[in-house]
Amino acid sequence: MSYSAPEQFANVTVACKANIYFDGKVVSHALTLADGSKKTLGLIFPGSFKFDTAAPERMEIIAGECRVRLAGQGDWIGFAAGTWFDVPGNSFFEIVVESGIAEYVCSFG
Amino acid sequence: MSYSAPEQFANVTVACKANIYFDGKVVSHALTLADGSKKTLGLIFPGSFKFDTAAPERMEIIAGECRVRLAGQGDWIGFAAGTWFDVPGNSFFEIVVESGIAEYVCSFG
């Protein structure tokens, strides 16, 4: 079976106020699922950004495209809608959006 | 009792993909509540925008500030976090954000 990006999440609690990073070039809304797990739904406008991780996270790109470089890796890897990457905890990643808007679902833990 | 802006919504279904308007200067995520009612959680970046309504809607400003002019009204009215305005169905409103990011909860029907 091929991977399919999630379209919606049911039975969640959503925070009304967004998380705003880099003067609004990255914004997200936080979800808590019924099992207590946390996700964010976000948008990334054009630019180059570095994010630190506490918990491990999976970033699923659900629209647009971006390039990503994980900590300690020399290569940038392109991700388009319908692809994903994992970031270890206590690490970081760099992400570049050249044009348009990349949208993501980030899952923690 | 004074009005208090909502902080979160529980037991909702949320669409992962955002609604993107005006090249991303207005973005929102759509919610469906347990009773079937619809809301969006959104952000408005600086600019001047006109929105048409189908159903009546209530716009609660939960962060930042904006100016609004309803259809057929000459005056612009300022709204800050913790205030709201109602828009009739089959109408429109103009909204201006001068700086920063205005965040809203829009409730339909």
Contact A7 B15 (CB under 8 A): yes
Burial class (CB in 10 A: 0-12, 13-18, 19+), B15: middle
Q: How many CB atoms lie within 10 A of CB B86?
A: 11
User: What ipTM was reported for this prediction?
Assistant: 0.94
Interchain CB distance below 8 Å, B9 and A9: no
pLDDT in tens, A31-78: 999 999 999 999 999 999 999 999 999 999 999 999 999 998 999 999
Mention every residue, 6+ apart, whose C-beta is less than 8 A from residue B69: B75, B76, B77, B93, B94
Please list every residue in chain B whose beta carbon sits closer than 8 Å to the beta carbon of residue A29: 14, 29, 41
What would be the CATH architecture of the domain defined by A22-108?
A: Sandwich (2.60)
- Residues 58-97 of chain A with CB under 8 A from chain B are 62-63
Polymer length of chain B = 109
Q: Which among B8, B20, B101 has CB closest to A15? A: B8
The CATH class given to the B13-104 domain equals mainly beta
The full set of domain ranges for chain A reads 22-108
